[in-house]
Amino acid sequence: MVVTNVKLKKIPNKNRLKAVCSLTFDDCFVIHEVRLIEGQNGKFVAMPSKKHVSGEYRDICHPINKTLRGTIEEAVLKAYDEAEEEE
């Protein structure tokens, strides 16, 4: 599975949320509302989630292996770095 497009919107505030993006896979499947967050150990990608009645947030979708997670993180971080350079 290949990430064929990343549409990234930087969040201009100084909070932990740095960007929100949509990822296209193999030019045929899209995931919206993927977030880039600044954590204690650097930036990380958070998949779309939903709040359940218990108050807990659970991912709606997520990669099930390290290879795809790495591919997603690499694509999002690259798009973010490119957006930073444009400013």
pLDDT of residue 13: 83
With cut-offs at 50, 70 and 90, classify the pLDDT of residue 5.
Answer: very high
54-76: average pLDDT = 95
pTM of the model: 0.90
What domains sit in the chain, N to C, each tagged with a CATH number? 3-86 (3.30.1120.40)
C-alpha R_g of the chain: 13
State the average pLDDT over residues 52-77.
95
Give the pLDDT confidence of 25-50 residue by residue, as tens digits: 999 999 999 999 999 999 999 999 99
pLDDT > 90 in the chain, percent: 90
